[in-house]
Structure 1
């Protein structure tokens, strides 16, 4: 009888030691560390705010094919940094997409400071920022989406679509309808009362 009570007490102590306060799961600690680690080549895609419900987030992929997602607003996941392992070779595939679209030849900014690489500029649009920090490609492009008339726009849009397909983050970004119609449900409830 005393031995069984001792075993129960010992099991309880061991279990309580496993659930120590302030414990952070491995992936969370790893994600925070990896985002600040400059030892790895990386690619970053960031989408910024607009006047509306544009998704705001940043995605980083490193040469080990780890993806880190930081959602800010109008995305499904906004709770810290999420991470996942992409299929082997995904980082190299993103680099090939950049090479195939001659990414290093794009201007660093659309529009540029002089606004001479863009036609008329619409307001209240988001920006997309693409950046490579690798041994052979160190270039970034910031495209304000209100800048819609420049020579290489179709190539840049095609490249972004190809990269988005590799990233496969739709479940973290979520459908636009969920945010655009969020206020409609409240209006419907009030009209019923």
Structure 2
């Protein structure tokens, strides 16, 4: 009987530790640069809904939310999967010379991408002064998928 109760308890704990559908999201934050780069945080959920906090140099400063085109989240997931996002290093900065060789450009913004899904959560920070084709293509693809030009970029 003890073994049975212990087994049931372990299954219950495992179920609590599993990421649910409701907590799946893609979060993107871009930081300051020497200039007028947009500073914002956006969270996109599987129902193609976004929540944006525009801090500076954005179309709307403060919080806004809305719906993206159908399939936007799925396109973003495909981009992340194709980039093997969960296998990327956590940091693409000058502190990690394996992915940022040579002198990086100064005064560039950083972007932080966090993907939370059934597999868990992974965050990647990319200082955009480190020339990295994988991260550049990922940034551009994600921006296209969540319509950066319409919801973030000043008009």
Q: TM over 0.5, yes or no?
A: yes
Query: Does residue 170 in structure 1 map to residue 153 in structure 2?
Result: no
2:52 and 2:96 mapped to 1: Cα distance? 33
1:42 maps to which residue?
A: 25
2:104 maps to which residue?
A: 121
Q: Which stretches in structure 2 are left out of the alignment for 5+ residues?
A: 1-20
TM-score normalised by L of structure 1? 0.62
Query: Does residue 59 in structure 1 map to residue 80 in structure 2?
Result: no
Contact 2:94/2:130 (8 A) holds in 1? no
In the alignment, which of 50, 62, 67 is matched to residue 85 of structure 1? 67
Cα offset for 1:112? 6.2
TM-score normalised by L of structure 2? 0.76
Where do 1:65-76 residues align within 5 Å?
65-76=48-59
Q: Which stretches in structure 1 are left out of the alignment for 5+ residues?
A: 1-37, 179-193
Q: Which has the higher helix share?
A: 1
Q: CA RMSD in A?
A: 2.1
1:111 maps to which residue?
A: 93
Aligned length: 134
What SS does the corresponding residue of 1:174 show, helix, strand or coil? coil
Whose Rg is larger?
Answer: 1
Q: Which runs of 4+ in 1 moved over 6 A?
A: none
1:74 and 1:41 mapped to 2: Cα distance? 28
